[in-house]
Amino acid sequence: MQDKWYSDNRDLVKWSVLLVLARKYKAERIIQIAYYRQSDFGEIEIDGQRYQMPSEILPFFRAFKNISRLSQLPCISIFPEIFENRVSYHQAAIEFIEGFAAERCVVFLDPDTGLEPKRGPDLKHVSNAEARAVWDAIPSGWPYVLYQHLTNRAGRPWIEEKRRQFKDAIGVSQVGVASAQKIANDVVLFYALKP
């Protein structure tokens, strides 16, 4: 998740879905694995002269960690490490999740795009193996949620293909789909309950 995308219509959808799922499954906490990557916002220009953005602008409009103030029950914990190295990031993320084992939590994977494409993952994606490793690490009864963005611009159906990919990646028979087509028609969230 890049901070330049924080607080758009997709956030309205994903955090609405997450709160409803947390309440439905009586989770005390939502753990966001943010896949955080810093954005370069550039400069502004006034009458031909360039200026850096004032320091108070980005923390007000794009501080993705502010989401932790959204709710007290469930509370929201963010894994805020910068996503640069896949192996060390996921190892640390799993250790972070394990720190909440005494509670019932929703675990939310929030990459820029979603599951890896056929050509393999880059920093915008979660690999199938990484999705499985997190699934294997969470306790029974915990909901597991993945953000998935539109995968093609050619107008072909994409949701069912990605739902099947997620289902196969984590080795389950059922995966739910949540969306809000009138708010953001290019995003869905897939979820499964750990048996």
Residues 6+ apart with CB under 8 A from 14: 108, 110, 147, 187, 189
**Kind plus residue range of the DSSP H or E element containing 156:** none
Specify the pLDDT at position 11: 84
Query: What CATH architecture is 3-193?
Result: 3-Layer(aba) Sandwich (3.40)
* Residues 73-109 pLDDT 10s: 798 888 988 888 999 999 999 999 999 999 999 999 9
Is 38 in contact with 2 (CB distance < 8 Å)? yes
Q: Is the pLDDT of residue 1 over 60?
A: no
Q: Which whole number is the average pLDDT over 176-185?
A: 90
Looking only at the bridges linking them, the beta strands covering 49-52 and 114-115 are unpaired
Highest mean pLDDT: which range of 10-24, 39-53, 157-171: 157-171
| Encoded tokens for 115 | 């599951």
Specify the pLDDT at position 5: 47
> DSSP secondary-structure letter at 36?
B
